[in-house]
Amino acid sequence: MSQELSPIAAPLLNWYRLYKRELPWRRDREPYHVWISEIMLQQTRIEAVMGYYARFITALPDVQSLSEVDNDALMKLWEGLGYYSRARNLKKAAVMIMQEYNGEFPKTCHELKKLPGIGEYTAGAIASICYDEKVSAVDGNVLRVIARVQGSRKNVLLPEVKKSVADQLQKIMPDEAGAFNEALMELGELICLPNGAPLCESCPLKDLCAAYQKDLTAEIPVRVKTMKRRRADLSVFIITSPDGKLALEKRPDTGLLAGMYQLPNIDGFHSDKALMPILHDMDIEPISVTFTKDAKHVFTHIDWYMKAYRVETDHTNDRFIWVTPEERQGSYPLPTAFQKLL
């Protein structure tokens, strides 16, 4: 199978030299910049990441500053990007680099994989882009490109298929390993688009692509999900005090959205009559309770269905953190799931 892929390197690298995007983390091969961008780009499109990346690098320009940042400040920088464990792992890895690597970024894929939050793909990307180590970096874009080139109907969501693609690419890796890996990712981002809509006429690999030759781009890659999603129903309360402060509480330090702030909420949907004793249990004496909206938020393995209620109260209590709109914007990172209710 690796023989099938060997012809792709030259046209791919030529195309990349001509058409690669000018992105802020490509201005140098500084591993810190590449690392932050790669972690941000997991589950998030480049367009959404650009502003976050600029703010993050301005606030935390190096490994040492990241290792020392206050957790709330870190989460505020990450607010809205989602998958917040990524940010927590960034800090853990930064601390490890300072303590165990004397502040020097590891230079091999093997060492990089020892850092929290850095798996096979991210280690391969950093090692190849920054140090031209001949290791593959296989993400969803790369899997899509290779599946179409090979005309493969194997399920690209299976770990063994991903490993097979990584092994094949490893065998044909050119000396310009970083450019080759970035070119494959770039091709998937710009040309070999998902959902049966690739721009094949602009693709440097079209003459080598089985899916293009056989008109199978709408059917390939094959993605068969085996994981069942869970559903959670939440009643969420937007509680405001007479002076306009909003009630927040901090989530546990482990689990989903660990360490983030949230709007008070309870499991399940409840009748209007049942809401009053629930609020009393929270030590809230409501002046009014008004249903505001339904909302849904999708996480990796669970869907939240939320009913939001605006609650006006005539006093604050010690159970919640009461913040002004300015304080919330500046100091209290609120996950997107709750932001959309405001």
User: Residue with structure tokens 């030259």?
Assistant: 10
Task: Clarify whether 38 is annotated catalytic.
Answer: yes
Alpha-carbon span 66 to 271, nearest angstrom: 46
340 neighbors 269 (Cβ within 8 angstroms): no
User: Residue with structure tokens 């367009």?
Assistant: 47
57 neighbors 33 (Cβ within 8 angstroms): yes
Per-residue HEC secondary structure of 188-251 comes to HHHCCCCCCCCCHHHCCCHHHCHHHHCCCCCCCCECCCCCCCEEEEEEEEEEECCCCCEEEEEC
Q: Which residues contact 142 (CB under 8 A, 6 or more apart)?
A: 136, 165, 169, 181, 184, 185, 188
Q: Which residues contact 212 (CB under 8 A, 6 or more apart)?
A: 148, 198, 200, 203, 206
CA 221-227-229 angle, to 5 degrees, is: 115
Which residues are bridge partners to 312 per DSSP? 240, 288
- Given the residues 4, 22, 30, 38, select the one marked as catalytic: 38
Would you name the residues annotated as active-site residues? 38
